[in-house]
Amino acid sequence: MVRTTRRGFAGAVLFAAGAAAVWAAPTKDADPLPVESKWKGKLTQKGKIRGNEVPLNLDAVLTVTKRDGDKFEGELFEEGEEGSGIKLTYLVKGEVTKAKEGKGHAVAFKSFDFKDADSETFINIPYTGTLAGKELKGTWKHPANDDDTTIEGEFTLELVK
């Protein structure tokens, strides 16, 4: 028959809890852009759409819906100020890789489709940025075209979930 003292039992519990904490602790190489993560913030837009000036500040939320290695898919919700008429969700595909400088991650994605659009949409827009900790910051620019649309801007998103 084995006898366990309270002190021995408490020590075993503490050891098990410590081992579990080490096992569950995020590693240096943990996924920086996990599935179901939400990144909320602002997106700016300046330039022209078919020759008309359109400066805007938009609320934005990026939700990661799928991961496969370095590749990811997601939804980018954008909503303009009240009265702007802008409210839509882009479907995006991209890639996240370690930054060349060794700090953070490089993130690049492109809108390939949309859903729930209550305003004009522009697909195939490239976004590039840097993910450091809980902040994703970068720029976007509408590709060259023949209809005098020259919009571009910046985005800053923070991990909220």
pLDDT band at 71 (very low <50, low <70, confident <90, very high): very high
Token pair listed for 9 = 């039992």
Q: pTM score, two decimals?
A: 0.77
What confidence tens digit (pLDDT) does each residue in 121-149 have? 788 999 999 999 999 999 999 988 888 88
Token pair listed for 148 = 């005098």
Is the Cβ–Cβ distance between 39 and 62 less than 8 Å? yes
Domain boundaries, the chain: 38-159
Token pair listed for 18 = 């410590």
Q: Which amino acid is at 109?
A: F
38-159 fold: Lipocalin (2.40.128)
Sign of CA dihedral 85, 90, 94, 97: positive
pLDDT band at 3 (very low <50, low <70, confident <90, very high): low
pLDDT on residue 29: 53
In terms of pLDDT, which residue wins out, 16 or 130? Answer: 130
Q: Which amino acid is at 50?
A: R
Question: Exposure of 95 by Cβ count < 10 A (0-12 exposed, 13-18 middle, 19+ buried)?
Answer: middle
pLDDT on residue 19: 41
Residue 1 has pLDDT above 70, yes or no: no
Kindly give, in sequence order, each residue whose CB lies less than 8 Å from that of residue 16, ignoring residues fewer than 6 positions away.
Answer: none
